[in-house]
Structure 1
Amino acid sequence: MDDDIRPRATAGPVDLASAHVVITGGSSGIGLATARLLAVRGAKLSLIARGRDRLEAAANELSAAARVADVSDSQALTRALAELEAAQGRSCDVLITSAGLARPGHFLDLSDEVFRQMMDVDYFGTLHALRAVVPGMVKRGHGSVVAVSSAAGLVGIFGYSAYGPAKFAVRGLMESLRAELKPCGVHVGVVFPPDVDTPQLTEENRWKPQETRAIGGAIKPLSAERVAEAIIAGIDRRRFLICPDTGTRLLARSGSLLMPLLNREFDRRVRAVRRKHGNT
């Protein structure tokens, strides 16, 4: 492992052509799309995911190192990260936390377990990874950490009472870390994608209430590749807010001002769905 812990006088962008990049949730969706683009850049890739088959397929495709781990298990994740650093012969230069779950549903219908699972995977899964690699980055005075939140981490949306708070928590964590880690030379970024065309969205749509679908309207999901491009540009330019489309960029910068208008429009769409289905 690279033991050079001398702080750097200035902290510029990480050189992705030589960086060791670790991606949680790297076997599919946004994580895999980002890994593919980073492979083209020449990065040393390490992937972490729960599903062995898809993870091995991704690792073989990209000549990446890989470890199976559940990000909600802090000990297993910390061990996987340490093993990947040893296998690659250097510490983690860039961490991208893309592992996540979304389980929409009506608040009164969701079990306590769903609320716990969203926090365990989406929030604590991000936190555990950061806790494992950030100390080394601070010692070296260099690095980049990017967490994938969601547009549902910018504004409360009908049907996301379990998922939204977990993504709001990711946003709050990264906002706090930005302030703490900037003086240490470590770049912090947070990504706010809307719906993205991934296997996770397909699973999510199985549970999505009609009201939630109406709020989303007919907006076409972004491709995972477009989000991946935004992530890499964010690392290159050391951006904190990483928004892959105009809508989430507007929400991220002006959400509090727009909330009264958004809530009125969301409420109108919910009422229309309920009238249509005979609910009041």
Structure 2
Amino acid sequence: MFLIVAISLFGLFIIVLYVLSPLIAPKPFKLEGSHVMVTGGSSGIGQAIAVEAVKAGANVSLLARNQAKLTAAKADVEKYVKNKDTQKVQCISVDLSRDFSEVERTVKEAEQNLGPVQMLINCVGTSISGVFEEIPLTEFKRMLDINYMGSVHATRAVVPSMKSQQHGRIVFVSSQAGQLGLFGYTAYSASKFALRGLAEALHMELKPHNIYVSLAFPPDTDTPGFAEEQISKPEETRLISETAGLFKPDVVARSILSDALLGRFLCYIGVDGYMLTSLTCGMSPVISITEATQQVVTMGLFRIISLFYLDSFDRVVRKCKEKREQNKSKSS
């Protein structure tokens, strides 16, 4: 009896989603001729996304702090321009984490050259890892200033023009560390988790204006920032992170851009990314009956699998603790 009721309710759920799904599907978005702004575009995932955008015919603005890196990134991105006669790539140096009026001025300057921003990729970010009590308190604020407020400032600067166009895409690049908290990421994870609350609330505000928000959760990616982070990363963090593998920036970039064009809210990369995203979907928006059904069907199974992951993570932490204690006793 219970099984029949459960199947009936699930069937009703699918029917309701089927009826509603045409109402929530976003309008198509074309990159060709569009103005795509990429913050943190001087290297890593941001630069890789810029490359994919120009390959598709977009005009691109790269925003970051370091002018020398921006100039080098611009030269690299321009190699992949689809139409050299009409496409443009520009770079502007600005500290997105500080003064909003300066960020607003920079965005307006970019729009004067390439027209209104139609897609914003918030890729600006930095990372730090360490044991909670050993991370300077100033680093907690710095993570929030760069990873969170940097995205707030850039987004605030483009939303008015997107509303006037009644068209746009906004992407927040979080991290798999923004889906679950891991050893060593107390400062970093908090700043990346904050992006989710911003993205969900903003999506609800902007959807009536045909502006769709996407939230990306890239895994460890082979970038200069990742290489720098590896130098001081605690052993526990390194061992746990390795379970998801290391991805190439172009693979991550293509996946994020593809999901953003479709208007998907949650963007994932790889098998572990799919599991984590389905497992942590919560009250996040969906754009299709297929996406919603997959989340409902897989969530229970993925929760079971996640328990094994969590147990393995705990084992890593315990072994590292025992190893340090043994080394300490030998040296004393």
Structure 2 unpaired stretches of 5+ = 1-24, 79-87, 283-302
In the other structure, the counterpart of 1:155 is 180
Pairing partner for 1:267 from 314, 322, 330: 314
- Is 1:95 aligned to residue 90 of structure 2? no
Matches within 5 A, 1:93-242: 93-217=118-242, 219-242=244-267
Distance 1:80 1:260 in 2: 46
In the other structure, the counterpart of 1:15 is 30
Q: Find the residue that maps to 2:61 and give its secondary structure.
A: strand
Contact 1:214 1:270 in 2 (8 A): no
Q: Find the residue that maps to 1:188 and give its secondary structure.
A: strand
Cα offset for 1:260?
Answer: 4.5
Contact 1:147 1:189 in 2 (8 A): yes
Instruction: For residues 165-216 of structure 1, give each alpha carbon's deviation from its aligned partner in whole angstroms, at most 9, with x where no partner exists.
Output: 0000011111111122112100110110110000010111122111111212
Cα offset for 1:136?
Answer: 1.5
Greater shift, 55-64 or 181-190, is seen at 55-64
Pairing partner for 2:45 from 15, 18, 30: 30
Q: Find the residue that maps to 2:134 and give its secondary structure.
A: coil
Length-normalised TM-score, structure 1? 0.91
Greater shift, 75-84 or 40-49, is seen at 75-84
* Aligned AA (2:234): P
Q: Find the residue that maps to 1:162 and give its secondary structure.
A: helix
In the other structure, the counterpart of 1:243 is 268
Cα offset for 1:261?
Answer: 4.1
Contact 2:122 2:151 in 1 (8 A): yes
Distance 1:154 1:45 in 2: 29
Distance 2:205 2:266 in 1: 16
In the other structure, the counterpart of 1:45 is 60
Distance 1:85 1:217 in 2: 41
Cα offset for 1:276?
Answer: 2.1
Count of residues in correspondence between the two structures: 270
- Is 1:86 aligned to residue 112 of structure 2? yes
Cα offset for 1:219?
Answer: 4.3
RMSD of aligned alpha carbons = 1.8
Instruction: For residues 140-163 of structure 1, give each alpha carbon's deviation from its aligned partner in whole angstroms, at most 9, with x where no partner exists.
Output: 210000010000000010000000
* Aligned AA (2:48): A
Distance 2:186 2:168 in 1: 34
In the other structure, the counterpart of 2:12 is none
Contact 1:149 1:168 in 2 (8 A): yes
Structure 1 unpaired stretches of 5+ = 1-9
Greater shift, 201-210 or 186-195, is seen at 201-210
- Is 1:75 aligned to residue 101 of structure 2? yes
Richer in helix (by share): 2
Higher RCO, Cα 8 Å, sep 6+: 1
Greater shift, 175-184 or 260-269, is seen at 260-269
Distance 1:11 1:103 in 2: 36
Residues 134/66 of structure 1: CA separation in 2 closer, same or farther (3 Å cut): same
Greater shift, 11-20 or 118-127, is seen at 11-20
Distance 2:106 2:229 in 1: 28
Instruction: For residues 237-267 of structure 1, give each alpha carbon's deviation from its aligned partner in whole angstroms, at most 9, with x where no partner exists.
Output: 1111111212122112114836644432211
